[in-house]
Amino acid sequence: MGLQTLNLDRDDLVAAADATASRAAAALAGRQKADGHWVFELEADATIPAEYVLLRHYLGEPRDAEIERKIGVYLRRIQSLAHHGWGLFHGGAFDVSASVKAYFALKMIGDDVEAPHMAQARAAIHKAGGAAAVNVFTRIQLALFDCAPWSSVPTLPVELILLPRWFPVHLSKMSYWARTVIVPLLVLAVKKPVARNASDVRVDELYTAKRAKLTSKAAGTKAGWTTFFNGLDVVLKRVERLWPKGTRQRAIDACVSFVTERLNGEDGLGAIYPAMANSVMMFDCLGYPDDHPARAVARRSVEKLLVVKDDEAYCQPCVSPVWDTALAAHAMLEAGGEDAEARAAAGLAWLKPLQVLDVKGDWADEKPDVRPGGWAFQYNNAHYPDLDDTAVVVMAMDRAQGLLPSSPSPSGEGLGWGSPAKLTPGQGDTPPPPTPPLKGRGEESATLPVTGMGENYDHAIARGVEWTVGLQSKDGGWGAFDADNSYHYLNNIPFADHGALLDPPTSDVTARVVSMLAQLGEPIDSPRMAAAMGFLEKEQMPDGSWFGRWGVNYIYGTWSVLCALNAAGLDTKHPMMRKAADWLIHIQNLDGGWGEDCDSYALDYKGYTPAPSTASQTGWALLALMAAGKVDHPAVERGVRHLIATQDDEGLWGQEVYTGGGFPRVFYLRYHGYPAYFPLWAVARYRNLKRSNSARPAFGM
């Protein structure tokens, strides 16, 4: 297919793109759930499955030998052949914290410490400074098993939860994920429980004679603040036993109330693994029996994150159904055709009742007068909807309700732009997989006439927009979950060595909101749009790119912003757009694709470093260039040829590389759905623009 793709002339390339899009849409349809939604695996690094194993042994639960065996297979498979430890992403450098946790879990499972893979891992850990060199959260994990002193853990007194909101160090000044992880940890830190650990497994052999200081991965730390907070930590450790018992108990009770209010059923506290696991351990150390409703539901929430396959298993950090469904719906709308559009409608029908309309979450601490109206990332996380998901859902709903049965495709056929093309020789020889029928709510949506696809979305869109614009930060940008969460001095506290304590406005989320507002008709000179555009202009890098907080990295950020600038009507000759497009063209790989790895988040980043092409990043780059008016540029043609040539027999694209952002320099994500819907979206858009003779997309994404 590769050579045949290279030899296609431009007219044949459009036809081949159509065939590629049709096969990809059919394959994506095959991944749709019976009720209309999509959800793909969401994979992190070794730490989450390792922590899951350790959690069960901490609680003293009966061993599940089969699950442990399968997790062991997974952990051994992802161990690096190059450095013998575990990295934070596929092919990533050695990380001592991830490696200590993975080693501990494998030893707990029963791996012989003298087995080659264990001996090699241990040697690599020693070389990196041993278990003393791990980060704060790993020190806590070791302390819970009495394998490290609690004195090695920075102190956050449980009384923190009682402080007034004006106090410089306050939970409301931290990000949602930090908040939900820290509150149950406050109880664990004051109670200092020890794991039951019936197997009495320890990892003393991972220590060396060397001592190690915590090293921060936060950006922009200041020596003065760091010295102050380190000194404060020393004082807090010395006075820890002097806290009044009544105040301490009141603080513990407040932590329990905080967690219980946000337990979130079987979706868990914050709907993220670390917070969920900490809540279970908190209830356990406070003496809650296994069958107590709060503890039981918290424990069940953890199990729902497992991915169990025939030969291996791992634990996800969270699940991504709203994000996957919204993005898949966009891709299907771009693919066009009655079936794809009906399936997008089914996905949107599934999304509609998940809008949070009745819960004022933690975001209301900063914006108490704003009505709720957002969507969360997970199945349920009502206290923590996010602005990125909300903007993407709103844009999909708006686009869907704009479809009319009388609107012809550019080719003059059918309801959409996805009518099957005549295949050129060598293209599409493998037929697409059969598309399963929609069932349940999705079936009802699919049987509606296309005019009804979005007729009931007006209220959902209005409330989504109202909530989103209500959380604009003072600098004109938007963060992911909160407004004005920019207390950067907190990154200097010892506990914040991971550098992810805050949720400040970012280019990618701001761009998504601008895209949404522009698609809905907001003029570029309205006060909130002008402020947002000013934020984006300020955030542009000297080379023309934008930082990608939630996707890797500058390719993701640049895609996000160029879509927004196009939607806002900025001229393609504007310096912001021109510089960004030039940067993308400049970094294109020789194979026609684009790639960038997680090392681009390095604190000493000096500019783009070439990386192998990936399907998702190639999709982003193509969508970005087309948003910048470059649909006819040779770089776009090369990128489309690359995606056509690399489509697999199923109709999708393979990708082991991590292109999702969790916490820069600390935690990354492999979205298994990204190579399913982003390449489809890109090749379908190319086909659509070429057939309609349009220079630029008409939508926010």
Identity of the highest mean pLDDT range in 70-74, 455-459, 654-658: 70-74
Banded model confidence at residue 240, pLDDT cuts 50, 70, 90: confident
pLDDT at residue number 7:
64
Which range (203-217, 253-267, 665-679) has the least confidence? 203-217
The backbone torsions φ and ψ at residue 317, rounded to the nearest 5 degrees and listed phi first, read -75, -30
| C-beta neighbour count of 82 within 10 angstroms | 9
| C-beta neighbour count of 514 within 10 angstroms | 30
Residue 423 has pLDDT above 80, yes or no: no
Which range (112-116, 415-419, 553-557, 577-581) has the least confidence? 415-419
Amino acid at 32: Q
Residue 609 has pLDDT above 70, yes or no: yes
Contacts of 377 (CB under 8 A, 6+ apart): 271, 318, 320, 322, 323, 386, 389
The average pLDDT across 438-455 equals 34
The average pLDDT across 495-515 equals 89
Amino acid at 371: R
Comparison of pLDDT for 256 and 417, the residue scoring more: 256
| Structural domains of the chain, with CATH | 2-40+320-433+467-485+505-692 (1.50.10.20), 45-193+217-315 (1.50.10.20)
Residue 65 has pLDDT above 80, yes or no: yes
- The 10s digit of each residue's pLDDT in 121-144 is 999 999 999 999 999 999 999 999
Tell me, what DSSP letter sits at residue 229? H
Q: What is the CA radius of gyration of the chain?
A: 25
Residue 406 has pLDDT above 90, yes or no: no
Banded model confidence at residue 603, pLDDT cuts 50, 70, 90: confident
Banded model confidence at residue 6, pLDDT cuts 50, 70, 90: low
Instruction: With CA atoms as reference, report the closest residue to 680 among 423, 421, 418.
Output: 418
Residue 434 has pLDDT above 60, yes or no: no
pLDDT at residue number 402:
72
Which range (426-430, 469-473, 593-597) has the least confidence? 426-430
- Please give the C-alpha separations between residue 279 and each of 153, 285, 317, 342, 595, in angstroms, as whole numbers: 19, 10, 15, 41, 38
Which range (47-56, 324-333, 488-497) has the least confidence? 488-497
Set 388, 482, 503, 597: catalytic member: 388
pLDDT at residue number 442:
30
The average pLDDT across 637-647 equals 97
Residue 9 has pLDDT above 80, yes or no: no
pLDDT at residue number 542:
97
- Please give the C-alpha separations between residue 337 and each of 327, 342, 417, 650, in angstroms, as whole numbers: 17, 8, 6, 20
The average pLDDT across 302-312 equals 97
pLDDT at residue number 214:
65
How much is the pTM? Answer: 0.90
Q: Which helix (H) or strand (E) holds 268?
A: none
- Please give the C-alpha separations between residue 505 and each of 472, 489, 512, 661, 664, in angstroms, as whole numbers: 9, 16, 12, 15, 15
Residue 535 has pLDDT above 60, yes or no: yes
Residue 436 has pLDDT above 90, yes or no: no
pLDDT at residue number 494:
76
Residue 565 has pLDDT above 50, yes or no: yes
Comparison of pLDDT for 274 and 494, the residue scoring more: 274
Please, what is the average pLDDT of the chain?
A: 89
Comparison of pLDDT for 224 and 42, the residue scoring more: 42
Residue 405 has pLDDT above 70, yes or no: no
pLDDT at residue number 411:
33
Q: How far apart are CA 168 and CA 402, in angstroms?
A: 48
Banded model confidence at residue 562, pLDDT cuts 50, 70, 90: very high
- The 10s digit of each residue's pLDDT in 364-403 is 999 999 999 999 999 999 999 999 999 999 999 999 987 7
Helices and strands: H and E segment counts in the chain: 24, 5
Told to judge if 388 belongs to the known catalytic residues of this protein, a careful annotator would answer yes
Residue 359 has pLDDT above 60, yes or no: yes
Percent of the chain with pLDDT over 90: 79
**Length of the chain (residues):** 701
Extract the tokens encoding 184: 């149950």
